A and B are shown apart, each in its own frame.
With several copies, the nearest count.
Chain A
Amino acid sequence: MPIDVAADVIANQPLSADYNVLALAAPAIAAASAPGQFVMIKANAPALNDPLLRRPFSVFEILRGADGTRTGISILSKRIGVSTQLLYDARPGQRMACLGPLGRPFTIVEPPTEAWIVAGGVGLAPFATLAEHLRARGVHSTLFYGARRAADLFYLDFFRALDVELVLTTEDGSAGERGRVVAPLDRRLSSRSPTAPVMIYACGPERMLAATAQTAMKYGRPCQVSVERIMGCGLGGCYSCVVPMRGDDGGAHHVRSCLAGPVLAGDQILWD
């Protein structure tokens, strides 16, 4: 059951000219969140109508007090419009309505299955908590992480500290391999023994997700993708967030990604 919290901004750390990490005090949401779930945030005062709607953001980190209790969450935000601008400019002491946790989380694998995590840009967001959960179960994880340039690769030490193997790509070649992140994924899958189990987790731009899902299918690997649709409500009320999927009946159906997702089976989505 999601709750709505008037969350205090604890801290707001800019990571670059576009990215920031916003820490919010929200113990109850933090306590209930599972990796892959999201929150709906109203970046301005509730009574103000512009921006009007809340915006969906993955739970990035679970924040903990000195005694280990969950005190809040952070979100990794990329500035692309009016609400993310407000999040970028937010100051400690402000409050923001934060509704969550919402949506269906990732299904977490057990050893000996390996986790291959594929992240594009701000698509890194759901994977900080996922990597922690996988680590706790002793799953070996690899993060394929692509960004525009070296300066847009964040939290590498965080993942290293969780013993996550990093495979980096940048479009301009300023760090890791030059090009898109699906290329090294494909190579690794092609050289991997088909009997060694791998679960692929992906989040990022639509085209990257489609390419990842198709690559996974090519090698017969399961793939959980976290999709991003424009969401009006996050609770199943508006039917704005649909993804075309193959149903059990074999037919094509529009599925609400806020309820059935955001984590969906990559091989059931009808990619454009």
Chain B
Amino acid sequence: MDLSVRIGSLTLKNPLLAASGCFGYGVEYADVVDLSSLGGVVSKGLFLAEREGHPAPRIVETPAGMLNAIGLQGIGVRRFVDEKLPELRARKATVVVNVCGTTLDEYVEVSRILSDADGVDAIELNISCPNIKEGGIQFGCSLAGTFDVVSAVRNVTRLPVIPKLTPNVTDVASFARAAEDGGADAVSLVNTFLAMVIDVETRRPKISNIVGGLSGPAIRPIAVRMVYECRQTVKIPIIGMGGIADARDALEFMIAGATAVQVGTANFVDPFIWSKLLAGMREYMERHNIARIADLVGTIDTGHTVAERSGV
């Protein structure tokens, strides 16, 4: 049974990655998860400099989801390289670094530092964080901006470049195309949906940043649709995410067109989820006689659904 998948030049041993911002820097989970058993670990978003992020409250639960506005608190790329990367390397984790920037130059500079470091396997360009004004969303919400960031970073690294798309747009597939045109090796989607919750007793927003990003099972059907749309539009691999909570969900994204998937919020609910996801995938492959999980990608069957029916 072959669980491996390819993202550009990178081969992942299986399609399951821990999503950015939902797994600390990876090292926090080394006690509960064998990091080398994952397809990959995506780091928290990193700027050049350290950031303290927004004041608490930073999250609030919503129906089948959660809203967060952490504000990209982070230790900055240099401390990451010095303090976290060695342990990740020692634990044989496949490391994808989520790169943030307030300017195009910052994306380039952070990516350059990571390319020079030992143990980084790919760069995920966060051009879609809804929670800070200068967090790249100005790039992620413009086709030209998406193209520019991707091609600028493309020029300074041989690592796979994976822009992460925002779902807060009319036509996500056009952004996937812009990324592909800019030279991206893959796209990941979705980041969180801009949303808010108000405490009716105080009439104040429930999180300090007023608005935040919605994640979790609530958004899954929208995210699956977006992956499906992008699959019709671009040729590069798609890393799908949004509310994956069990093997069935991961498989759903793959059938819709994702080559790999990330799991964020569900890791909070169950940090031991990873072995269950892998077991569930294996069980499914066995039951359906699938030798290579890569063969499942994009195999959605839409042909019969409507046509088959006598209809009215």
A interface list, Cβ under 8 A from B: 1-2, 4, 42, 46-47, 49-54, 97, 99, 229-230, 232-233, 235-244, 252-254, 259, 270-272
Cβ contact within 8 Å between B52 and A254:
yes
Further contacts, 11 of them, CB under 8 A, given A97-B270, A237-B22: A1-B32, A46-B269, A46-B270, A52-B216, A230-B57, A232-B59, A235-B32, A237-B267, A238-B22, A238-B70, A239-B73
Task: Please determine whether B312 and A2 come into contact, CB atoms closer than 8 angstroms.
Answer: no
A103 to chain B, nearest CB (A): 13
Contact B55 A244 (CB under 8 A): yes
Give Cα A222 to B14, complex, Å: 50
Interface residues of B (CB under 8 A from A): 21-24, 28-29, 31-32, 44, 52-53, 55-61, 63-66, 68, 70, 73, 216-218, 245-246, 265, 267-272, 308-312
Chain B contact residues: helix, strand, loop or mixed: loop
Pair A240/B269 contact, Cβ less than 8 Å? no
A241 and B56 contact, Cβ closer than 8 Å, known pairs A50-B63, A272-B310: yes
Main secondary structure on chain A at its contact with chain B? loop
Q: How far is the CB of B101 from chain A (nearest CB, A)?
A: 19
User: Which of A232, A243, A272 neighbours the largest number of chain B CB atoms within 10 Å of its CB?
Assistant: A232
Task: State whether B265 touches A52 (Cβ < 8 A).
Answer: yes
Bound form: Cα–Cα A46–B268 in Å: 12
Complex CA gap A192/B65 in Å reads 51
Of all chain A residues, the one with the shortest Cβ separation from B22 is: A237
Complex-state Cα separation, A50 to B267, whole angstroms = 16
**Which residue of the partner chain, among A4, A47, A237, A254, contacts B29 with CB atoms under 8 Å?**
A237
B98 to chain A, nearest CB (A): 13
Shortest Cβ distance from residue A140 to the other chain B in the assembled complex, whole angstroms: 36
What are the residues of chain A within 8 A of B23 when measuring CB–CB? Answer: 237
A259 vs B24: C-alpha distance when bound (angstroms): 12
Question: In the complex, A237 Cα to B195 Cα: how many Å?
Answer: 21
Q: Is the CB of B58 within 8 A of A240?
A: yes
Asked whether, in the complex, the Cβ of B312 is within 8 Å of the Cβ of A244, the reply is yes
CA of A59 to CA of B57 in the docked complex: distance in angstroms?
24
CB distance from A99 to the nearest CB of B (A): 7
Q: Which residue of B lies closest to A42 (CB)?
A: B269
